Amino acid sequence: MNWYPVYTNARAEKKAYEALTNKGILTYLPLHRQLKQWSDRKKWVEEPFIKSYIFVNIAEHEQAEVLMTKGVARFLYFSGKPAAMPDRQINELKLLMASSVELEITEEHLEPGEKVLIKAGPLKGMTGEVISYRSQKQLILRLESIGCSIIVHVAASYIKRF
């Protein structure tokens, strides 16, 4: 059993998640709370954190079942095979989503910097790379198998060099 990132149809993450869960497939959809404003009101809603992606924990022979699910477009491939993610990356993503830390996602390529370990706070024990971004020190946790980086605002006093 491996975790695989799955690309969904546009704005179909929640429907694909529900359909896969109903099939008995272990699925993870990272959601974050966001304040939406309409012309007549404001409302807090749960939005997918990584647009058009969900993660499934399946054996290789179950891939066809995932692809036959409404809302699922395709698996992400790396070197001609579906890209598998280590459990550690999914657990770190779950930890990030459960924390109260302000998160931002970006698909721009960020140059690697110094490797660090977070030694305090809700993200204690996580590793990443420090960059200078918007003139603040921030920690970047790379999720390489889905091609994006997560920018986390962390105080410099909370990190130590490897």
Delineate the domains of the chain, giving CATH numbers in brackets: 2-85 (3.30.70.940), 90-161 (no CATH)
Which pair of structure tokens corresponds to residue 59?
Answer: 């054996």
pLDDT attached to residue 108: 61
**From residue 69, how far is each of 18, 34, 101, 125 by CA, in Å?**
10, 27, 33, 36
Residue 22 is inside which H or E element, if any? helix 13-22
pTM > 0.75: yes
Per residue in 20-44, pLDDT (tens digit) is 999 999 999 999 988 889 899 999 9
